Amino acid sequence: DHENISIGELNLEVLYTPGHTEDSICLIVNKESIITGDTLFVGNCGRVDLPGSNPEKMYDSLSKVANLDDALVVYPGHNYGSTPTSTILNEKTNNPMLNFKTKEAFLKYMVNED
């Protein structure tokens, strides 16, 4: 977690974000954007009903991502939202997966979602 990889002028900070899978990561690129893979989508998050997924870890990972710089541009692994990209601030404001008041409420929602 928080390991940095530099390639020329490209700097990647690795964030360990398990939940969708045990080995999920996000990459902060040059402190300007974040590649969120299957952790955070525009308006949603990755599935946690698959073998190897863990809803509790997903909640913790989403909380970690939500605490990053609001200006980071979000590049998710899939384009399921209304736009292909977003920002951390926009997701904190509009993404219901980042607006549960407690982990218990998130888990109840994720377990009961069909």
What are the residue boundaries of the structural domains of the chain, listed by start? Answer: 3-112
Q: Please report which confidence band the pLDDT of residue 2 belongs to, taking 50, 70 and 90 as the band edges.
A: confident
Q: Please report which confidence band the pLDDT of residue 81 belongs to, taking 50, 70 and 90 as the band edges.
A: confident
Half-sphere exposure of 106 (CA within 13 A, CB side): 24
Percent of the chain with pLDDT over 70: 98
For residues 55 and 82, what is the distance between their CA atoms, to the nearest angstrom?
A: 24
Q: List, in order, residues 6 or more apart from 102 with CB less than 8 Å away.
A: none
pLDDT in tens, 29-65: 999 999 999 999 999 999 999 999 999 999 999 999 9
Q: Please report which confidence band the pLDDT of residue 113 belongs to, taking 50, 70 and 90 as the band edges.
A: low
The architecture that CATH gives domain 3-112 is 4-Layer Sandwich (3.60)
The pTM of this model reads 0.94
Percent of the chain with pLDDT over 90: 91
* 59-63: Cβ within 8 A, 24+ apart: 59/19, 59/100, 59/103, 59/106, 59/107, 60/19, 60/103, 61/16, 61/17, 61/18, 61/19, 61/24, 62/19, 62/97, 62/98
